[in-house]
Amino acid sequence: MSETIDTSVLGEKIVKVLKTIFDPEIPVDIYELGLIYDVFVNEDYDVKILMTLTTPNCPVAETLPLEVEEKVKSLNEVKDAEVEITFDPPWSQDLMSEEAKLELGML
């Protein structure tokens, strides 16, 4: 019987890591901000993260994806991590969680 990957547990660990990464201009983590569109984990424990930035001209466009990759790769279960940036759909405040909106005084 082959070992099965519990991707939901690994997914929770990845989300926990993503919640430690903050947009330097906004005091909210990138997950609650709605910058993470999807997280994929394959059977080899390779992780692919589809994310966006608040704007295409975001000052951390070069460093934020690298920080995400490095922090996710630091998880023992993760073999490799790759971040893909997309602007489709473009980020908007509607993507923010209730927690993020509350933190920013938008509720």
C-alpha angle 75/9/1, rounded to 5°?
100
Burial class for 29, CB neighbours closer than 10 Å (0-12, 13-18, 19+): buried
pLDDT along the chain (107 residues), means of 10: 64 95 90 96 93 90 94 96 96 95 91
Q: What is the pLDDT of residue 107?
A: 82
List CB contacts of 78: < 8 A, sequence separation 6 or more.
Answer: 10, 14, 45, 46, 47, 72
Q: What is the pLDDT of residue 56?
A: 87
Domain count, the chain: 1
Q: What is the pLDDT of residue 68?
A: 97
Q: What is the pLDDT of residue 78?
A: 96
Q: What is the pLDDT of residue 24?
A: 82
**Structural domain harbouring 20:** 7-92
Tell me whether residue 15 is in a domain. Answer: yes
Q: What is the pLDDT of residue 4?
A: 55
Tell me whether residue 22 is in a domain. Answer: yes
Tell me whether residue 38 is in a domain. Answer: yes
List CB contacts of 90: < 8 A, sequence separation 6 or more.
Answer: 52
User: Domain containing 18 — which CATH number?
Assistant: 3.30.300.130
Amino acid found at 98:
E
